[in-house]
Chains A and B, each alone.
Chain A
Amino acid sequence: MSLASIFTLSTAQTAIELGCIYALVALALFLSYSILNIADLSTDSCFTLGCAVCCQVTLMGHPILALFAAMLAGVLSGYITAFLQTRLGVESILAGIIVNTGLYTVNLAVMGFSSTLSIFKCDNIFSMVKDSALGDWLGSWYKLAVALLIALAVGGLLTLFLKTRLGLSIRATGDSPDMIKASSVNPAFTITVGLCISGSLTALSGAVLAQYQKSCDINLGTGMVTIALASLIIGETLIGKGGMLRRALGAIIGSCLYRLFVAVALRLNVPAECMKLVSALIVAIAIASPALKKYASFQKQKAQRRGGAKC
């Protein structure tokens, strides 16, 4: 089978659409994990929360308001995580786990104690673009256009925000909490703002996915944090650490690449039970690559020195 038939256009198209949607979670982790240096494990449930809230508001007939409502829910979730760790002295990882667990019930409640919720036949942002004047011009690319636009807009806004005074304080908090305290900025405040924004992005991602697939499922967020982390690190490995814009773009590209890997694996009929292992391997290799590189260069130096001594 030729490469072309393994990788049909529509397969790649779907992979990139999904990649752009999940890129928002990668951007959220970019803020919480890369910049603030906090492993926020509430991502999985926060994603489902965004999805559930979006479904409910979309059902009431407000597809655009639904996205903002989901973001607001994400802000609340992020605020609780931050409150636990900054005011109540809970370990940051534990705070995430606690919120993640608690949100399961909240998510079920939002969905009306039902495990699936369908918004089929409701207007959504994708169908609105399709029905608009742009729809004809975009053809079958309308979903990709919407997803890409959202990802780029969010990436751009996040970059701009990180260049403001508050954004700079958040970046400094991750680098050195002591220094930020010395500059009379309260790190509890910057962490709270950072996690609220990160939560809102995660929830927005869930919301866009809800409108994309027109349904919500209580288990939808499972494993999201690993996948987003993989995307983020693939991006960083490939694009490298440069300015904020470059790193944000890296997260988006990484997310699309990850989805392409998964799409190829699915196309090749990788047995379903192997998929999780493949994902874990991609993450492990990507995360370990800087350390492996360092080790390799160290060995090279050692070999060079030894060679030098002999001479």
Chain B
Amino acid sequence: MKNVKFAKKALAMVMAAAMSLSMAACGGGDAASSKADSTAAETTAAQTAQAAASAAEGAGTVYKVGIVKYVDDASLDQIEAAIQAELDAKGTELGVTFDYADYTKNGQADSTTLNQIASDLIADQVDVIIPIATPAALIMQTATEENQIPVVFSAVSDPVGAGLVDSLETPGSNITGTSDALNVEAFIDLMLAANPDLKTLGLLYDQGQDSSKSAIESALAYCQEKGIETVEKTGTTNDELSLAADALIAASVDAVFTPTDNTVMTAELAIYEKFIDAKIPHYAGADSFALNGAFCGYGVNYVTLGTATADIVVDILVNGADPAATAVQLMSSGIAMVNTETAEAIGLDYSAFSDLCEEVKETTTQESFE
């Protein structure tokens, strides 16, 4: 009797497992790799890339490239797409294949998942791992400590502070990459160009975001130097940030500054109308903010960042560059993205921007890049 009971329980467990597996199978269907019909699927990605490459030369070397995105997010998605596009382009140019389709993973902001992904990629013997965002980079660093697989991170604001590299010039181990640190001083000059009478600057950010910390510090220092008063408001969720935005409007600030802050980024669509109604321009440290309604997004262009990341990968894999001696690349943050709808609603003239930036781009309010 007892045995029967146990068998039933075991059966229940197997069923549960089978269910999760079958879900897996349907989900994987349209992605590049349904492992069920393995041999064909496995080579699909390689074949497509090879077809392109074969025009120049026969099948070249195949490099396995693991890409680990921390979480779904407009900016990180853009970086991922740019890395893949650049790898394809370089692959065709050099007659080699970068197989990333089977090794592109999403950590879902869950460190356990990231740990498991790291172990999977190492088991698959990838040639390089590209973590996107700091938490992913930290876990890949730990996972590759013993095997020294090269790691090329992207979108890490403070690689030295996070302990990923010894210094920006000489990282010193298997890790290098690109940083999206924001040039805050140039950004505040831009605000002054649009409004020379800027007296009070609101700072809106999430204290829990590493990327915001150093940017806010330099903003405070620079504002003090320029004699601009500052009002700081923080929030950790959409509703808290909405309240923080209301508080800034109530404090009648002349402009609002947000660093490259993922939390505010997620809340931008919920708060941009408040700022427009109050005729306060919102300046933020990524072009995707402007897309979601902020007046001006300034800083790193994530496509350029992704492309630069992929170029480092190519340099390491194809040209045999040593990651320990490959400097971390900082982006010359000189691209301003202005939302024309918001600019018109606020009635702010941004013609002076073009003298101060590499490039001024214009956009209208949308949910994501097309």
Contacts and interface: CB of A to CB of B under 8 A. Distances in A.
B142 A214 contact: yes
B112 A18 contact: yes
Interface string A212-234: 11110111101100000000001
Contacts of A37: none
Contact of A276 (B13, B108, B117, B207): B108
A14 B31 contact: no
B250 interface: no
Contact of A274 (B27, B112, B114, B162): B27
Interface residues on A, range: 35 or more
A269 B66 CA distance: 13
A215 B139 contact: yes
Contacts of B3: none
A14 B116 contact: yes
Interface band, chain B: 35 or more
Interface string B12-29: 110111011101110110
Contacts of A273: 72, 106, 108
Interface stretch (B118-126, B224-232, B271-279, B301-309): B118-126
Nearest to A220: B111
A128 interface: no
A214 B138 contact: yes
Contacts of B210: 114-116
Nearest to B117: A266
A215 B135 contact: yes
B209 interface: yes
A113 interface: yes
Contact of B10 (A238, A266, A275): A238
A272 interface: yes
Contact of A268 (B24, B107, B135): B24
A282 B102 CA distance: 26
Q: Which 7 A-B pairs have the closest CB atoms?
A: A272-B106, A1-B38, A14-B119, A118-B163, A215-B138, A268-B24, A270-B24
Interface of B: 5-6, 8-10, 12-13, 15-17, 19-21, 23-25, 27-28, 31, 33-36, 38-39, 42, 72, 102, 105-120, 122-123, 134-135, 138-139, 141-142, 145, 162-164, 207-210, 213, 236
Given A114-B213, A271-B31, 11 more contacts: A15-B116, A113-B208, A118-B162, A120-B141, A120-B163, A217-B138, A219-B109, A240-B9, A262-B113, A274-B23, A274-B24
